[in-house]
Amino acid sequence: MMAYFIPSLQDPRLVASFQRVCGLFLQVEDVGSTNNSCGNGAGADSEQVLRTRPSMNGQWRHTAEEGSLHLQGQGKPRYVVKNYFFYYLFRFAAALGQEIFYITFLPSTYWNFDPYVTRRLVGVWAIVMYLGQASKDIIKWPRPLSPPVVKLETRVDAEYGMPSTHAMAATAISFTFLLATMYRYKYSFALGLMASVLMSTLVSLSRLYTGMHTVLDVICGILLTAVLMGLTYPFWNILDDLQLTSPLTPLIAVVLPFLMSYNYPALDHYSPTRGDTTIILAVASGCTVGFWMNYQYGQTYEPTGPLPFEVPSITPQVALMAIARFLVGISILVATRLIVKTISLKVVCAWFHVPDDMEARKRLEIEVPYKFATYSSIGFVATAIVPLLHQYLKLL
């Protein structure tokens, strides 16, 4: 039975069925064609929705009685959206799983909430994401085929699919936040659990809706994260104490992630997975050095008083201060990225005597050093420099 059940979870038709239930249909050919189909048996339905005709320039125009046609260019699949609530809900949820969200969300928790929680978020996020990304390029299972699946994202289509790192990141962040705060703050654990389940579920389902993963990819991503968190949770406090107090922390935090990035599993084609993994490890590296330095100089920025803490009330003044800290911090991080990326690219390209172009940036010896330098600087500035600036501007 398992020999049938597990492969069925990899069937792209299962993903296409979920998309159609949520009002997303594939349209491969002109609706006027007798061979038209929209996903697995959706052609007749979509024919009632709109009629398309080629225009003079080879693109497509359409008239719609209901729904909408999103065009992806000549010769590429097109799709029909009949339920915009699910469309925007899952596109938003998919954005929550992007690295850019976590690279802004994690520092924000450091500036506006509790560095104790941030340290655990960064550590678990880095471990889970590295193992998830590396697993993709070791297992090498493809993403769902289109057709029958509608694919709403193109950047990561060159990556392999098993496991879903979006599902892993959302599950790790949600439940790490819950576990790190449940004894530290006074709040309803039931509500916290519901929020964690809701976020991880939305992001996981968004990977099906966008056509990027099979059901098995998503399930395995969640289960793998649960196992990793279960194995590491008893050691969170021990590892946190070590990273703050050990004199070897800066050396280990820089050298080990860099070597892990440089020795990332090789592929026979270029994939953004290695670069994304380098970004994740670099951010964690820079943050760890920042955490260590702050502790050495007595700048922990943690709330004080007896545990558990009261959850701060969100007054207009508190909200404005949080927004100010966020805007100042993000501005500094954007400037850091621009400056360090420009300098590191010039240095690395000059070292290897290659021009700075897109092809050069895909090479291992170029991509890993410049991305590691850029994003480790961002992690360090976010945790060590920005809080000092907040103090100087009296925003703390």
- Return all residues near 369 (Cβ < 8 A) that are at least 6 apart: 344, 348
Q: Tell me the one-letter amino acid at 362.
A: K
Count how many residues are written for the chain. Answer: 396
The alpha carbon of 334 is separated from its chain's Cα centroid by a whole number of angstroms, namely: 18
DSSP per residue over 176-188, as a string?
HHHHHHTTTEES-
Q: Give the DSSP per-residue string, 335-372.
A: HHHHHHHHHHHHHHHHHHT---SHHHHTSHHHHHHHHH
Three-class SS state of 64: strand
- Tokens representing 237? 């406090």
Two tokens, residue 9: 């979870």
Cross-strand bridge partners of residue 60:
54
Q: Which residue in 349, 360, 279, 338 sits closest to 106, CA to CA?
A: 279
* CB of 301 closer than 8 Å to CB of 387: yes
Q: Which residues are known catalytic residues?
A: 166, 213
Starting from the edge strand earliest in sequence, which strands make up the sheet with 24-27, in order?
A: 24-27, 78-81, 68-70
Contact by Cβ (8 Å): 274, 367: yes
Burial state string for 114-139 with b = 16 or more CB within 10 A and e = fewer than 16: bbbbbbbbbbbbbbbbbebbbbbbee
What sign does the dihedral 6-12-16-19 (CA atoms) show?
A: positive
Task: Take residue 260 and report the two structure tokens written for it.
Answer: 């892990």
* DSSP reduced 3-state for 169: helix
Dmax (CA) for the chain in angstroms is 73
Residue position matching structure tokens 């703390």: 396
